Structure 1
Amino acid sequence: MDRIGQQQQVKIALARVQIPAGIMIRAWSVEDFPAIQRLSDAEGWTSPSRRPADSLGAWRNSWPALVAQKDDVVVGFVRALTDGAITMYIADLLVDQHMRGAGIGRSLLETCHQLYPTTRLDLLAADGSRAFYEACGYRLLHDGMRKSYV
């Protein structure tokens, strides 16, 4: 799907999502990557800065990939992968630590769901974010596994 199609799809989905006042959610663009790196660095997520070409490639090959803005500043993002029918995997969800608790993360997740309303949303979560996901209606299924090659 091209960028114009993605933006149109997001606009339709957003009509069914409650978004915090002053926040705009839209499809990401390459120009957002420095902000994604900045937010990731602040959280201790190193891949976008240490492996920028790979991370940028991941963003380019992911959909939905959305950013949340306040006053033209990216304050959050979500990057997901989906088959469009059954499963959506949330690869990354991050909100600026100073903006947490305002409903931005919940709105990003809900927008993903509204883009593909028949999918379930699966994810791996850090221990510190478990209460957030539970408050959003997620339930613990089992432990995840990861093997890194780089």
Structure 2
Amino acid sequence: MDVRSISTADLDGVYRLLLNNGWAHRIGGVAQLAQLVSASQRVVVALVDNELVGFARAITDGISNGYISMVVVAEPFRRQGIGQALVDAIIGSDKTITWVLRAGRDGAAEFFKKLGFTESSIAMERPRLDPLR
């Protein structure tokens, strides 16, 4: 497995990965994905035998706070450490940054708890309107 920063050449593959793994309702197309990627400070992909099988992106100031927006692994490659490798690449080794995320998908809370995340009672959110509707 290889985890590396995303390149422009990866966008079509990432888009297909998102469409095939439950994210079609959130991404309007490759152009919107490119905007999301360019607005994110940390974006990585995972490849197995040159096949793109994982994607993660985060928004952070790199000093104090970070938000993990997406962690996606293709179904046949789950439970093989790829998700953990993506998260590790995103958050790095700096323990002074507080990382937050929304763990609403099935299994997400359990996955992130294994990586040291805890439930928060202090977070608030203003839910987005769905621009695709």
Q: TM-score, normalised by structure 2?
A: 0.85
CA deviation after TM superposition for structure 1 residue 119, in Å: 1.2
From the two aligned structures, give the one with the greater helix fraction: 1
Query: Helix, strand or coil for the counterpart of 1:98?
Result: helix
Partner of 2:56: 78
Query: 2: distance between equivalents of 1:109 and 1:33?
Result: 19
Map 1:1-150 onto structure 2 (within 5 A).
23-46=1-24, 47-48=26-27, 50-114=28-92, 116-128=94-106, 129-142=108-121, 144-148=125-129, 150=131
What is the CA deviation profile of residues 14-61 of structure 1, one whole-angstrom value per residue up to 9, with x for unaligned ones?
xxxxxxxxx10110011111111111111221233x243222111122
- Count residues in correspondence: 127
What is the CA deviation profile of residues 48-92 of structure 1, one whole-angstrom value per residue up to 9, with x for unaligned ones?
3x2432221111221210001111111101111110101111111
- Percent identity of equivalent pairs: 26
CA deviation after TM superposition for structure 1 residue 121, in Å: 1.4
Query: 2: distance between equivalents of 1:31 and 1:94?
Result: 18
Q: CA RMSD in A?
A: 1.8
Q: TM-score, normalised by structure 1?
A: 0.76
CA deviation after TM superposition for structure 1 residue 127, in Å: 3.9
CA deviation after TM superposition for structure 1 residue 115, in Å: 6.3
Cα 1:127/1:72, change in 2 over 3 Å: closer
CA deviation after TM superposition for structure 1 residue 105, in Å: 0.8
Unaligned runs of 5+ in 2: none
CA deviation after TM superposition for structure 1 residue 144, in Å: 4.3
> CA contact under 8 A between 1:35 and 1:74: conserved in structure 2?
yes
Q: Which ranges of 4 or more aligned residues in structure 1 deviate by more than 3 Å?
A: 142-145
> CA contact under 8 A between 1:84 and 1:116: conserved in structure 2?
no
Query: Helix, strand or coil for the counterpart of 2:17?
Result: helix
Cα 1:61/1:127, change in 2 over 3 Å: closer
Cα 1:127/1:75, change in 2 over 3 Å: closer
Cα 1:115/1:57, change in 2 over 3 Å: farther
